[in-house]
Structure 1
Amino acid sequence: MSDTTVGPVPSDEAAAPPSEPAPPTPVVETEAEGGIEGGTEAEAGPAELPARPGGPRRPGRRLLRAAGVTVAAALVGVVIGVGIVELGYHGSTPKTEAAAAGPAAAPTPTAAPTAPAFGAKSNGNHFGSLRDLLIPVPAGFVLGPDYDNYGNDAELTAEQLTAEIDEGLKDLPADKRAKMREFWTGLHVKGTGVRTFKTSASDLVVSIKLRQFNQDEVQKENEYTAFFGGDSGIFRNGPEIPGHPEAHCYLMPVEPGAPIDYLECSAAEGDLLVIMDVEGVALLPKDKIVSLFTAQLDRLARPGASA
């Protein structure tokens, strides 16, 4: 607000008899007020995911079965696997005398922050779409081949996975089928998310899977995978993932001098079992593999997943 005081202003003297002096000139004061218009805020929305091309299925699962994995673990493993712009800065709208006479404009209320669409709670459980929790296709990659019959960018619900389990168990004796069904129910499976990508030269193919189920069972399966990957002596040791001691990477057994190599990484992050399969021309690029798996685990880290 600005105050302007106008001082004494001389006025013309009216004709008067010489015997009477002219009256004193009055002092006039005027006051003007101006307002500051508020600003608005705009926020950017999340980017959309790319479309899905098709491709071949990844080999190599029979190697784990050959290592002594039970029928129950194999069934469960296969099926689960799958800025602010500020307007009117300091009153950008020119003030006028007419506007100055009115009251100052009320500030525009700020909208409440929007809740995230996906993330991790403090207790380790994740919320939102599993496809959102997966890392986007990294720079230098495009969507890759289909993973089994799940496609290359998909999310399967608990109902879909349960239907596949029932189909896989239908030929078992009734008592064994009932035990497997009970085991599956105890996992409290919520779903599976899968995304694959490959380099433009197709010399490296990566698939990442998020399996969401009971936290205790997630931890057990990760420990089980770590045992076969390291302590069993069947597989070759893979790279470590800095900052994520729960992560384990190992290389599949191949013939000496084989042109193609295979690697798998596994980690437990709350209610998510994270598995990354890599297939590529030997020797596999260690730094790139570590960077990809680190990015995925960091995205899922508590207390919230990051975009």
Structure 2
Amino acid sequence: MSDNTGTVPAEPARGTSRRLLRVGGATVAAALVGVGIGVGIIEVRYDDTATPVAATTAGAVAKPAPTPTATPFGAKSNGNHFGSLRDLLLPMPDGYAPGPDDGIYGNDAEVTTDQLSTEFADELVGVPEEQQDKLRRFWEDLHVKATGVRTYRNQTVVLGIRLHQFNQQEVQKMNEYRAVFAGDTGLFRLGPAVPGHPEAHCYLMPAPPSAPIDRMECSAAEGDLLVVLTVEGVAPLPKDKIVNLLTQQLDRLARPGASA
């Protein structure tokens, strides 16, 4: 991938980027019908918290009070996040450039509920009729709100992060399901731990020891967000650097100091 000049190379072949970005980010519904979660742009409204102008003595000129700047994004004390998921996504780190498109969603986007619902309905066409109602009910119970997508690349790796926002209990269940599935099937290689984030787990895709390209996926639950990171690059992958990026992403979503 590198030309040893220090410049960022051209985007990887379309087939490679598709394989990378289709690897992760599924909910149970995705596992059943082959559709990734992606959902709506959230419109955020804030209460008017402007401080009233203080009373003044006669003849004095009233100075307008400064208007507090509303926090545009963050987490509430109950773990629900607010604001644009594009703001909640990890900003482009030093040494990285925007990566390839994540399917039809581009490389820096939020996907609307209508888009996802249409895609989900299309996938249901191939599911036996007796299972369709069950899957629809499951989908409705997720209370999917939004998905943020951003991709990154440097000389050796292509990396994608998705933030899937839905019901907190289901987020937790899905993250646990992914961990159990990856650990119990014996198909995957155990990935690195993420210090300070015990809820996060990583695993590597099946590959022969001599494979020139390796792939890894990590996921974590942070309140109402299922965070999924996928990476593909020259073997061996720079696992420490990838874990560092995931840590930065999870710290950005953390609740301490969040809005009430």
TM over 0.5, shorter chain: yes
Separation in 2, partners of 1:121, 1:70: 23
Separation in 2, partners of 1:117, 1:304: 14
List aligned pairs for 1:230-249, cutoff 5 A.
Answer: 230-249=183-202
1:111 alignment partner in structure 2: 66
Higher relative contact order (CA 8 A, sep 6+): 2
Quick check: 2:27–2:36 contact (8 Å CA) kept in 1? no
- Residue 302 of structure 1 aligns with an amino acid whose one-letter code is R
Q: Which ranges in structure 1 are unaligned for 5 or more consecutive residues?
A: 1-52, 83-102
Paired residues in the alignment total 228
SS of alignment partner, residue 117 of structure 1: coil
1:169 alignment partner in structure 2: 124
* Cα-to-partner distance string for 1:117-146 (whole Å, 9 max, x where unaligned): 111000000011111110111110000001
2:37 alignment partner in structure 1: 80
Superposition deviation, residue 175 in structure 1: 2.5
Superposition deviation, residue 113 in structure 1: 1.8
1:86 alignment partner in structure 2: none
Judged with a 3 Å threshold, the aligned counterparts in structure 2 of structure 1 residues 60 and 207 are, in CA distance, closer, same or farther, namely closer
2:251 alignment partner in structure 1: 298
Pick from 73, 77, 94: which aligns with 1:122?
A: 77
Calculate the aligned-residue CA RMSD, in Å: 2.9
Separation in 2, partners of 1:300, 1:174: 39
Superposition deviation, residue 233 in structure 1: 2.4
2:42 alignment partner in structure 1: none
Separation in 1, partners of 2:73, 2:12: 27
Quick check: 1:79–1:164 contact (8 Å CA) kept in 2? no
1:224 alignment partner in structure 2: 177
Is residue 153 of structure 1 aligned with residue 108 of structure 2? yes
Quick check: 1:261–1:279 contact (8 Å CA) kept in 2? yes
1:250 alignment partner in structure 2: 203
- Residue 59 of structure 1 aligns with an amino acid whose one-letter code is R
Please tell me whether Structure 1 or Structure 2 has the larger radius of gyration of its CA atoms: 1
SS of alignment partner, residue 171 of structure 1: coil
Quick check: 1:75–1:165 contact (8 Å CA) kept in 2? no
Superposition deviation, residue 58 in structure 1: 3.1
Quick check: 1:133–1:305 contact (8 Å CA) kept in 2? no
Quick check: 1:210–1:273 contact (8 Å CA) kept in 2? yes
Q: Percent identity?
A: 63
Query: Which structure shows the higher helix fraction?
Result: 2
TM-score in terms of structure 1 length: 0.67
Judged with a 3 Å threshold, the aligned counterparts in structure 2 of structure 1 residues 253 and 165 are, in CA distance, closer, same or farther, namely same
Tell me whether 170-179 or 214-223 shows the greater mean CA deviation. Answer: 170-179
Judged with a 3 Å threshold, the aligned counterparts in structure 2 of structure 1 residues 71 and 133 are, in CA distance, closer, same or farther, namely closer
